[in-house]
Amino acid sequence: MDLYTLFPTISTFFIVVSAILVAIGWSLAIKRRLEAHKKMMIAGAIAAIVFFIIYSSRTLLVGNTDWGGPDSLAPYYYVFLIFHIVLATVAAVFGITTLTLGFKEKFAKHRRLGRVTSVIWFITAITGVAVYIMLYIMYPGGHTKPVFDILFRL
């Protein structure tokens, strides 16, 4: 495994771990094991933050991966990717909001938004794994330049 696939593999691992922890946390909330729920959701948030740090670092320092599949599938891939990116952004904003509501003990709002946030997060994780599979397993592509190289022409 080279540098171009190591970071995406690790970051994808953390997003899957985050989704699993959120699922366990949701189950704990349903069982009214609220202290365990809180710990599990914080752990899920930390895993998501680790994902984001790895993903952002890779984008800035190493670069991303271009679509390597057939040109006929590229439009479908890019629509899917945009869907994933928008969903991930919404999930992050909702996640921060849901956590904040929980910490502020606004539990009615936290509970309502948490259900929606969790579902969006699960879909985001699944689509993120699908993007990883398409880019690194099914259709390995070329690599782009790091953002720093592009910005500063290094």
Instruction: Specify the CATH architecture of the domain 3-145.
Output: Up-down Bundle (1.20)
Number of H helices and E strands in the chain, helices first, is 5, 0
Mean pLDDT of 105-112: 96
Q: What is the pLDDT of residues 30-89, one digit of tens each?
A: 999 999 999 999 999 999 999 999 999 888 888 888 888 999 999 999 999 999 999 999
Query: Tokens 């891939």 appear where?
Result: 77
Burial class (CB in 10 A: 0-12, 13-18, 19+), 79: exposed
> Looking at this protein, which amino acid is placed at residue 45?
A
The domain ranges of the chain are 3-145
Mean pLDDT of 145-151: 70
Mean pLDDT of 80-107: 96
Q: Is residue 154 over pLDDT 60?
A: no
Residue 126 CA: distances (Å) to CA of 7, 64, 91, 97, 105: 18, 19, 13, 22, 30
Q: Is residue 150 over pLDDT 70?
A: no
Q: Is residue 98 over pLDDT 60?
A: yes
Pick the closest to residue 154 from 63, 66, 56 (CA basis): 63
Q: Is residue 130 over pLDDT 90?
A: yes
